[in-house]
Chains A and B, each alone.
Chain A
Amino acid sequence: MRRLLTTGAIALAALALGAASAETPEQLPSHEWSFKGPFGTYDRAAAQRGYQVYATVCSACHSLEMLSYRNLEQLGLTENQVKGLIADIQVDDIGDDGSTIQRAARPSDKFKKPYPNELAAASANGGKAPPDLSVIIKAREGGPNYVYGILTGFVPFDKLTPEQIKDANVTKDDNYNKYFPGHRIAMPPPLSDDKVQYADGTKATLAQEASDVVNFLAWASEPHLEDRNRTGVRVILFLIVLAGFMYAVKRQVWADQH
């Protein structure tokens, strides 16, 4: 048994030493996130601000179609507050005579899509549809750090070094991003200082906006995270206790054989 473990360990160590090289862009910024780790929770205030950023800036191009407006109640808002937030949103519906009408959004509606379908989204955005953000944090290697990096990693053309321009083959019409693979991203820098007027009065720097919207999107990707963490702690503690008992029973049963 011991021999097996040693052999396995040596093998794994050898693999770890020689990392297969692949195209890796710059090291992602490592930001502290409140939801990381086994005891992580969502910063609801940040997520509410992040919703504001999404609603003001991102929702013009990015859908959030797996969520419904009522989900916002999980961020600490009451049903009436949610109704207030969506008061100005008009959604399509079918009237009593069968024709398409517009009506005010209800909490039970899914988030309104900026484009009616994928093709419309692509043709309005230079041939590539802006991705839906419902699970974006889980859909990208590096998760929240990646998304934060993208939002804060734009470098204006005039600030680029000649090596960067040559390596990425970038012109002044492109958007250069430090963390996007290939560095040329179709999306122009979406955030800037004071782009959003926060309801809670927090100063809206670019970094703050980016951090808040990542908090919001992290919650959007994994709304049951806190439940999962809490249940996990209880389950594992229970199983450890049960394992202890089962081990004692096993020893008891085998006592006459050892």
Chain B
Amino acid sequence: MASSSIPAGAHGDPTRRDFLLVASGALAAVGGIATAWPFINNLNPAADTLALSTVEVNVKPIAVGQAVTVKWRGKPVFIRHRTEKEIKEAEAVNVAELRDPETDDARVTDTAKKVRREWLILVGVCTHLGCVPLGTKQGDPRGEYDGWFCPCHGSQYDTSGRIRKGPAPKNLAVPEYLFTSDTLVKIG
């Protein structure tokens, strides 16, 4: 950038001249950034998008052994009302042998730190390449571990949604959720 070619005027001495330039430049720069901010912020999610960032589900109609799929932030979320057998199977697994080690307890705790073993809430997106695994609806194949089976490349998840077999690297994600009452869960 050109060095300052401001001629030394009859009135200005160097320090005063520099102060003016620096101060004006700084002010203009601040103004520029302050102006740029609303434009950048404009691309952030809008209020109506944010309003749909949580979804409340009444889980009362889901019987033991049943599961449903709800839509949350554009993705499917599986809510399974686990049977005692499924819970025991999940807890009996040796966590150290898992590809993505996680205890079952950690995966059924809500944001208020309360554990509800009978409710398993998972983001229904296979962690391999993003297909929706089968196992929620009655009659769906569940794979060898009684959880979910992804038809795309054969990933198999157990009754805690953890990856056991197949190419997926991680367990099915557990979204943030909070039981606002025994029958009402707020996801997200």
- Are A and B in direct contact (Cβ within 8 Å)? yes
CB within 8 Å of B: which residues of A?
Answer: 68, 70, 106-108, 238-239, 241-242, 245-246, 248-249, 252-256
Of all chain A residues, which has the CB nearest B8? Answer: A256
Interface residues on B, range: 20 to 34
Interface flag for B74 (CB, 8 Å): no
Q: Mark B21-52, 1 if CB is under 8 A from A, else 0.
A: 10110011001001000000000000110011
Give the distance in Å from the alpha carbon of A248 to the alpha carbon of B27 in the complex: 13
Cβ-neighbour of B11 out of A106, A108, A255 (below 8 A): A255
Q: Is the interface of B mostly helix, strand, loop or mixed?
A: helix
Interface flag for B139 (CB, 8 Å): no
Give the distance in Å from the alpha carbon of A242 to the alpha carbon of B24 in the complex: 7
Interface flag for B129 (CB, 8 Å): no
Instruction: Assess whether A252 is in contact with B17, with CB atoms less than 8 Å apart.
Output: yes
Interface flag for B112 (CB, 8 Å): no
Instruction: Assess whether B20 is in contact with A242, with CB atoms less than 8 Å apart.
Output: no
Q: Which residues of B contact A248 (CB under 8 A)?
A: 20, 24
Most buried by B among A106, A246, A252, A255: A252
Interface flag for B6 (CB, 8 Å): yes
Of all chain B residues, which has the CB nearest A248? Answer: B20
Instruction: Assess whether A256 is in contact with B51, with CB atoms less than 8 Å apart.
Output: no
Q: Which residues of A contact B51 (CB under 8 A)?
A: 68, 70, 107-108
Q: Which residues of B contact A252 (CB under 8 A)?
A: 6, 9, 11-12, 17, 20
Cβ-neighbour of A242 out of B11, B21, B31 (below 8 A): B31
Of all chain A residues, which has the CB nearest B56? Answer: A106
Most buried by B among A107, A242, A245, A254: A245
Interface flag for B10 (CB, 8 Å): yes
Tell me how far the C-beta of A74 lies from the nearest C-beta in chain B, rounded to whole angstroms: 10
Q: Which residues of A contact B34 (CB under 8 A)?
A: 238
- CB-CB nearest 8 A-B residue pairs: A255-B9, A108-B51, A245-B24, A242-B27, A252-B12, A249-B24, A249-B20, A256-B9
Of all chain A residues, which has the CB nearest B38? Answer: A231
Q: Which residues of A contact B31 (CB under 8 A)?
A: 238-239, 242
Instruction: Assess whether B20 is in contact with A245, with CB atoms less than 8 Å apart.
Output: yes
Tell me how far the C-beta of B14 lies from the nearest C-beta in chain A, rounded to whole angstroms: 11
Q: What are some 8 contacts across the A-B interface (CB < 8 A)?
A: A107-B51, A108-B51, A245-B27, A252-B6, A253-B9, A256-B7, A256-B9, A256-B10
Give the distance in Å from the alpha carbon of A122 to the alpha carbon of B31 in the complex: 51
Q: Which residues of A contact B27 (CB under 8 A)?
A: 238, 241-242, 245
Give the distance in Å from the alpha carbon of A252 to the alpha carbon of B18 in the complex: 11
Tell me how far the C-beta of A68 lies from the nearest C-beta in chain B, rounded to whole angstroms: 7
Tell me how far the C-beta of A146 lies from the nearest C-beta in chain B, rounded to whole angstroms: 29
Given A242-B24, A249-B20, A252-B20, 15 new contacts (CB under 8 A): A68-B51, A106-B56, A108-B48, A108-B51, A108-B52, A239-B31, A242-B28, A245-B24, A246-B24, A248-B20, A252-B6, A252-B17, A253-B6, A255-B9, A256-B9
Give the distance in Å from the alpha carbon of A245 to the alpha carbon of B28 in the complex: 10
Of all chain A residues, which has the CB nearest B24? Answer: A245
Cβ-neighbour of B21 out of A108, A239, A249 (below 8 A): A249
Q: Which residues of A contact B28 (CB under 8 A)?
A: 242
Give the distance in Å from the alpha carbon of A121 to the alpha carbon of B9 in the complex: 74
Q: Which residues of A contact B23 (CB under 8 A)?
A: 245
Q: Which residues of A contact B12 (CB under 8 A)?
A: 252, 255
Give the distance in Å from the alpha carbon of A246 to the alpha carbon of B21 in the complex: 9
Instruction: Assess whether B48 is in contact with A68, with CB atoms less than 8 Å apart.
Output: yes
Give the distance in Å from the alpha carbon of A137 to the alpha carbon of B31 in the complex: 33
Tell me how far the C-beta of B46 lies from the nearest C-beta in chain A, rounded to whole angstroms: 11
Q: Which residues of B contact A249 (CB under 8 A)?
A: 20-21, 24
Of all chain B residues, which has the CB nearest A234? Answer: B34
Give the distance in Å from the alpha carbon of A230 to the alpha carbon of B23 in the complex: 25
